[in-house]
Structure 1
Amino acid sequence: MQLDSHTTWATGYQVTVTGPHVRFTPVVVSHDDRRGKQWTELPLPAPDFKMRSNTIAGSSTHDAWVFGDREPTTGRILAEHWDGAHWASTPIEPPPGELYDLNLLGSSAPRPDSAWAVGAASIVTGRTPGPNGGTIINTRTAGLIEHWDGSAWHRMSADGIDGDWWLNSVTEIARDDVWAVGNTAAPDDKPVLLHYDGQAWSRVAAPAFTGLAGEYQSVAASGPKDVWVVGRTILADKDRGHPLVAHFDGRTWTTVQAPEGVAGKLWSVTAVPGGMATVGWDPSGAQDRPIGFRYTHGRWQNLDLSVTGYEDVSYLAVVAAPDNRLTALGTGSTPKSQDYQPLALTGRG
């Protein structure tokens, strides 16, 4: 996220494998372009965190949030606030019932008295004996919408969605104008588009698109008449995905024709003057290949996101600075090491 004209923050997690055990440790890093190219870690307060950090949002360097998963052994949900000097945990109560999993995947925090975190919770609905012994845990998955009002978190509901579903991203334009996006689970596997009017959340019909299935991964806006959504569509049974883009002009949602001949999924979008920029990756080959585009004034421009010496590269986030710079954030490996390393690429496209 871009906190001011010079400061960019990002979040992710470190993966540590010890024998059969896998540990996730959340990480937050900061970059100030007045101090060179170096990124600096902002250590979270509790070293016993054992969950992923999935999303970051904030209004300034004195008001930032990090959200992630629920830690299974303690039940703690990662929701940390930065006030400019210290991190503080802000408890989010889990939904009722026996939880199998909970993940906060997207966030928006335009003001100190308003922050949103969205994701999904999997609730245990029963257990059945497995065919080869053991137990099969049956679950249902429902989207989560959490809102911070300046003093506490409150859960909100959204009606009109059947079956399993989840939310991936949210953006607040105004107190009465908030968008959230995600998708339903297979076999339906269709985009989910929600709007908050200051009173309640409601589902909005997604625009028609080409494909057997589709999902919305990220939403961004420059204002109430300029909202962008990106994700992927599945064109055939064995298709790994093709870019899916939609735009709202204040009245109507319309699917935007993606660049021809491009495969892959778009994972993140940010608003820029005259349009948007988006990044993701193409998983259809032997290795992931980065993809990224700027779409302004009705024209697509390819962003060269390749990194010399790295392979299997995918970009998970893109942020825009006021001077039209873009920063793409992701991961990649090298021929000498299959361990994934963080990547940050900055340019003007």
Structure 2
Amino acid sequence: MRKALVSVAGPAVALGVVFATGGPAWAATVTQVPVASTGFFGGFLGVDAVSPFDGWAVGGNGNGMIQRFNGTRWSTFPSPDLQGGDPNNWADLSGVDATSASSAVAVGNSTAAGAVKSAVALRWNGTAWSRQAVPKPAGTDTEFSAVKAFSASDAWAVGQTASSNSTFRKTLAMHYNGTAWSAVPTPSAGTRTNFLTAVDGVTSTDVWAVGYSLNLPYGNRVRQSTILHWDGTAWAQVPSPDNGSTFLYDVAALSATDAWAVGVGTSGAAFVVRWNGTSWNTVAAPPLVNLRGVTARSATDVWVAGAAADSTGTPALAHWNGTTWSVTPVTVNGGAGIPSLSAITAADATTEWAVGSQSDGTTGQSSSIAFRVVG
């Protein structure tokens, strides 16, 4: 994601910095910020901001979750019922993007008790969130994972779709023109599963979507990275590197000749690829695992969110200064269970937000966590 929020309060988190081999010392200060409790199944999946003191975070609690930052803390914000009045249904929100204080889009999914999944889109008009109509052909299920808004009348949401009676899943991209959402054809190279997990772009005619694919036979577990590009006319697949079984989870675009995508390769190792205007190429990755988020201000100022590459697997952030990576572990104060980061985004020249969840493997309960990062 391209933006984040700035907090002015919250308990300090213990700090620690591990510097990548070579390169100057560089440190970040991480502050955990209060988050409203949302029930049994919480956890932030996406975050965005319109100013240092106003922004949105979304996640899942069975009926979708929206929280708003007011400059001090995160608080639950009223949002439409996505369960359709049936407590046996399930819903979550996975992505949010704001273009102004009066315009934002959030996307996710609602699943009926019969396990039929429907993509969901919500619209913020400066006063309230409302649910938008999302096309869903009969006999299919659809799923949104991420959204990128260029204006109140130009946004993309990506994910996957399939016939309800089929195990073959295809990439999905829908465009919002200010009036309605409509599906736009996308390539699906995998013969079994195709999934777009993130979308970003510099302009409405230069948009990237990333994810992964999986080929038959059903015993095959090797994922292939997927990168698609929108040039204003059509989506096309662009060759992308792999590192064993590879998932791409996020993408950040800086210009027509510079973009970053991150994910995981063999055994969950950090995987980073970069666009140079001609091709995507593997670049040095930080000593982390399970990269889930990336945000970039410039070619010498890139952040990623993941976990420590040791037995603890604690959340960690890494910063690229144009020469080397430096790593800052993130310590969670309070709560029980295993914490993880799901997204990171830049607020201004020196501030980022990282969000995620803390899951209890015994009870299944999870809660949202958020951190202000300054460095």
TM-score of the superposed pair, with normalisation by structure 2: 0.77
TM-aligned CA deviation for residue 288 of structure 1:
4.7
Cα RMSD, aligned residues only: 2.4
Alignment length (residue pairs): 313
Q: Which residue of 2 aligns with 1:7?
A: 54
Worse overlay, 291-300 or 196-205: 291-300
* Equivalent pair of 1:270/1:278 in contact (CA under 8 Å): yes
Unaligned runs of at least 5 residues, structure 2: 1-47, 85-89
In structure 2, what is the Cα distance between the partners aligned to 1:180 and 1:25? 26
Alignment of 1:313 onto 2:343: no
Alignment of 1:302 onto 2:330: no
Alignment of 1:221 onto 2:247: no
Q: Flag the 1:102–1:281 CA change in 2: closer, same or farther, 3 A.
A: farther
In structure 1, what is the Cα distance between the partners aligned to 2:55 and 2:224? 33
Alignment of 1:8-157 (within 5 A): 8-14=55-61, 24-33=62-71, 36=72, 38-46=73-81, 48=83, 50-72=90-112, 77-96=119-138, 98-99=139-140, 101-125=141-165, 138-157=166-185
Q: Which residue of 2 aligns with 1:292?
A: 317
Q: Flag the 1:282–1:185 CA change in 2: closer, same or farther, 3 A.
A: farther
* Equivalent pair of 1:227/1:249 in contact (CA under 8 Å): yes
* Equivalent pair of 1:2/1:320 in contact (CA under 8 Å): no
Task: Looking at secondary structure, tell me which structure has more strand per residue.
Answer: 1
Return the letter of the residue paired with 2:223: D
In structure 1, what is the Cα distance between the partners aligned to 2:66 and 2:169? 28
In structure 1, what is the Cα distance between the partners aligned to 2:146 and 2:119? 14
Cα-to-partner distance string for 1:276-333 (whole Å, 9 max, x where unaligned): 1111236984x65212211121221112212234551100011111142111101125
Q: Flag the 1:43–1:190 CA change in 2: closer, same or farther, 3 A.
A: same
In structure 1, what is the Cα distance between the partners aligned to 2:280 and 2:175? 25
Alignment of 1:249-264 (within 5 A): 249-260=276-287, 262=288, 264=289
Q: Flag the 1:219–1:47 CA change in 2: closer, same or farther, 3 A.
A: closer
Residue aligned with 2:64, SS: strand
Return the letter of the residue paired with 1:147: H
Return the letter of the residue paired with 1:206: S
In structure 2, what is the Cα distance between the partners aligned to 1:292 and 1:143? 29
TM-aligned CA deviation for residue 42 of structure 1:
1.5
Structure scoring higher RCO (CA < 8 A, sep ≥ 6) equals 2
Unaligned runs of at least 5 residues, structure 1: 15-23, 126-137
Q: Which of 282, 302, 318 is the equivalent residue of 1:276?
A: 302
Q: Flag the 1:189–1:284 CA change in 2: closer, same or farther, 3 A.
A: farther
* Equivalent pair of 2:172/2:196 in contact (CA under 8 Å): yes
Determine what percentage of the aligned residue pairs are the same residue.
24
Q: Flag the 1:142–1:334 CA change in 2: closer, same or farther, 3 A.
A: closer
TM-aligned CA deviation for residue 338 of structure 1:
6.5
TM-score of the superposed pair, with normalisation by structure 1: 0.82
Structure 1 stretches (4+) deviating beyond 3 angstroms?
47-50, 73-77, 281-285, 308-311, 333-338
Alignment of 1:322 onto 2:348: yes
